[in-house]
């Protein structure tokens, strides 16, 4: 038996030679496909039950079964007792079963293209469910807009890239709701310090995004000034140095605030026992490179009052309405680059990729082109799709380049 043979080397330390690598991988693929098929069959069964389960709407009396809507805008109501049956079958609570039914209805009625991708096995059920939940606050029409925007990437891009793009698509689908949620989030800003646990406290908060990103930048800059000698192990790790930087910033602010009349004796606080920093440095403002993607049919270019607000993405942080972008650019060192026309970038004879060509490559392929790759292109190698051969001209051009993570690049170059 294949499974038994596969387990045997682990149990005994011996090597089984009666099966090839292809046979083992085929078995894994078969099991995976069976798992996906079972998930789809369960999902379809839940929806069929929701469609066919009927109640007597003319009946009256205490405890009579009602119609409820476990899904969101645009989904039908179902009989409430169905969750009891589904929960018992799946071994979950009736509350969990009701959520499972609602997720299935959201998927079918609010995300039709995603629904088809699930039925064909391109997207896992749990992945589709997560997308539906992220869009739960949207109207049905806005959810359809997100669904249409995602159609090209569904089943083609890695899961992490799809989820990274999703928040921006949600904002673009309904800018008015995005503004309302931003306002609600603004009104809920807070900083909370947890009780002491194991001699430490945790800090949680919701703050202005500009302040948060700048504070992260300040922590990094101050952390870099701490020594990293072997005799200070606490300072070798950047995260720990950031925590020390937080203490130093707090200490400095507290001392300035209570310079005349300190409320506490700070002479024995951990912040005063920090390792001495290296020579002070002058911290420059955050540097920003602004890259604008423009389309001739972009509604954001429409000067009419009904023009749709666009979406800006802060690399490494996430999307926001473009009307919020000036707050990020205020006080920053901004690098302005000309619009890149890939057609105008000529091939070169050298193996190395010129900076202008490299920038165009990163904008065209923002992540590793290896199947399901997630490494950002800025951290990848520029790989020649057709291997570079010394002596030949014009081999380095955008049509023959793709970003590959170092491991994928090594596997392509040296693997069998």
Contacts of 348 (CB under 8 A, 6+ apart): 354, 357, 394, 396, 397
Note whether residue 228 is domain-resident: yes
Find out whether 401 and 384 touch, Cβ atoms under 8 Å.
yes
The residue range of the domain holding 291 is: 287-336
pLDDT of 119 reads: 95
Longest dimension (CA), the chain: 89
Note whether residue 146 is domain-resident: yes
Find out whether 45 and 85 touch, Cβ atoms under 8 Å.
no
Note whether residue 149 is domain-resident: yes
d(CA 217, CA 45): 51
| Domain shared by 214 and 253, yes or no | yes
d(CA 352, CA 336): 24
| Domain shared by 243 and 326, yes or no | no
Residue 8: helix, strand or coil by DSSP? helix
| Domain shared by 213 and 323, yes or no | no
Q: If we measure between CA atoms, which residue out of 414, 397, 386, 383 comes closest to residue 350?
A: 397
d(CA 79, CA 59): 13
Residue 288: helix, strand or coil by DSSP? strand
Note whether residue 196 is domain-resident: no
Tokens of 50: 């929701």
Contacts of 210 (CB under 8 A, 6+ apart): 327, 328, 330
Name the H helices within 91-225: 94-110, 112-119, 125-134, 140-150, 159-173, 175-187, 209-223
| Domain shared by 231 and 86, yes or no | no
| Domain shared by 29 and 146, yes or no | yes
d(CA 382, CA 102): 45
Tokens of 291: 């890259």
| Domain shared by 35 and 134, yes or no | yes
Note whether residue 193 is domain-resident: no
State the pairing for strand pair 381-384/401-404.
Answer: antiparallel
Note whether residue 410 is domain-resident: yes
Name the H helices within 235-313: 238-257
Dihedral sign, CA of 234, 236, 237, 239? positive
| Domain shared by 360 and 302, yes or no | no
| Domain shared by 31 and 167, yes or no | yes
* Total count of domains within the chain: 4
Residue 154, phi then psi, degrees to nearest 5: -60, 125
pLDDT of 331 reads: 66
Note whether residue 195 is domain-resident: no
d(CA 308, CA 184): 21
| Domain shared by 156 and 254, yes or no | no
**Residues in the chain where the model's pLDDT stays below 50:** 1-16, 262-283, 296, 298-308
Note whether residue 202 is domain-resident: no
| Domain shared by 68 and 122, yes or no | yes
d(CA 290, CA 288): 6
d(CA 139, CA 162): 21
| Domain shared by 250 and 332, yes or no | no
**Domain stop point among 179, 200, 231:** 179
Dihedral sign, CA of 313, 315, 185, 137? positive
pLDDT of 414 reads: 73
Residue 244: helix, strand or coil by DSSP? helix
Going from the C-alpha of 319 to that of each of 106, 158, 170, the distances in angstroms are: 24, 19, 10
| Domain shared by 172 and 64, yes or no | yes
Rg of the chain over Cα atoms, rounded to whole angstroms, equals 28
């Amino acid at each position: 038996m294949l499974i038994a043979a596969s387990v045997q080397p682990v149990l005994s330390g011996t090597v089984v030679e009666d099966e090839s690598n292809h046979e083992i991988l085929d078995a894994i693929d078969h099991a995976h496909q069976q798992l996906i098929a079972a998930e789809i069959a369960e999902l379809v069964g839940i929806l069929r039950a929701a469609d066919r389960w009927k109640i007597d709407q003319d009946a009256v009396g205490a405890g009579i079964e009602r119609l409820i809507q476990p899904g969101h805008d645009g989904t039908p109501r179902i009989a409430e007792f169905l969750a009891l049956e589904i929960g018992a079958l799946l071994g979950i609570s009736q509350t969990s079963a009701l959520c499972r039914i609602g997720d299935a209805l959201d998927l079918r009625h609010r995300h039709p293209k995603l629904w088809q991708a699930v039925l064909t096995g391109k997207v896992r059920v749990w992945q589709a469910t997560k997308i539906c939940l992220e869009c739960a606050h949207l109207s049905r029409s806005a959810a359809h807009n997100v669904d249409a925007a995602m159609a090209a990437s569904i089943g083609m891009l890695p899961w992490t890239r799809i989820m990274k793009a999703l928040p921006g698509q949600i904002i673009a689908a309904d800018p008015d709701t995005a503004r309302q949620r931003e306002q609600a989030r603004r009104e809920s800003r807070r900083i909370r310090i947890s009780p002491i646990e194991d001699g430490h406290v945790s800090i949680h908060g919701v703050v202005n995004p500009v302040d948060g990103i700048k504070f992260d930048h300040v922590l990094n800059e101050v952390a870099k000034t701490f020594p990293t000698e072997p005799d200070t192990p606490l300072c070798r790790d950047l995260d720990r140095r950031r925590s020390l930087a937080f203490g130093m910033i707090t200490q400095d602010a507290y001392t300035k605030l209570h310079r005349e009349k300190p409320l506490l004796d700070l002479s024995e606080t951990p912040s005063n026992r920090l390792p001495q920093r290296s020579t002070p440095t002058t911290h420059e403002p955050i540097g920003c490179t602004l890259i604008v993607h423009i389309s001739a049919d972009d509604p954001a270019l429409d000067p009419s009052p009904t023009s749709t607000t666009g979406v800006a993405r802060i690399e490494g942080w996430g999307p926001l309405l473009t009307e919020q972008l000036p707050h990020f650019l205020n006080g920053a060192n901004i690098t302005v680059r000309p619009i890149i026309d890939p057609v105008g970038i000529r091939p070169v004879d050298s193996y190395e990729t010129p900076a202008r060509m490299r920038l165009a490559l990163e904008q065209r392929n923002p992540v590793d082109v290896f199947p399901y790759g997630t490494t950002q292109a800025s951290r990848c190698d520029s790989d020649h799709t057709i291997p570079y051969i010394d002596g030949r001209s014009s081999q380095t051009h955008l049509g023959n380049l793709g970003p590959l993570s170092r491991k994928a690049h090594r596997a392509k170059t040296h693997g069998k």
